[in-house]
Structure 1
Amino acid sequence: MDAMVRELSYAQAIQEAMAIAMDMDERVFLMGEDIGVYGGAFQVTGDLVERYGADRVMDTPISELGGAGVAVGAALTGMRPIFEFQFSDFATLAMEQIVNQAAKMRFMLGGEVSVPVVMRFPAGSGTGAAAQHSQSLEAWLGHVPGLKVIQPATPYDAKGMLLAAVADPDPVMIFEHKLLYKMKGPVPEGYYTVPIGKADIRREGRDLTIVATSIMVQKALDAAATLEAEGIDVEVVDLRTIRPMDKQTVIDSVKKTSRLMCVYEAVKTLGIGAEVSAMIAESEAFDYLDAPIVRLGGAETPIPYNPELEKATVPQVPDIITAARDLVKGVR
Structure 2
Amino acid sequence: MAVGFRSFLRVTPGQRLLDTAIEHLSTWLACKEIHLDAMRPGQYVLDHDDLVTVLNRPAGGGRLYQWRRQHPDAQPRDVWRTAISVLEHPDEPGWIWTEIETRDDRAVFGQAPYNRCMSVPSVLRGLLAELEATDGRTEITPSPQWVTLGHLPDLMDYLADETRRGPVYMISQGEQPREDFERWAREITWHLVGLGSAFMLDPAVEAGFNEMVGPAHAVPSGTMRTYLPDVNLDNPEDPPRHRILGRPRILMTDARRLARMLGRAERDRAARLSIPDDALELVRANEPPMLPVSWHDQQRLLVELRAENERLRQALGVAPRLHVARHQELTAS
TM-score, normalised to structure 2's length? Answer: 0.29
Q: Which has the larger radius of gyration?
A: 2
TM-score, normalised to structure 1's length? Answer: 0.29
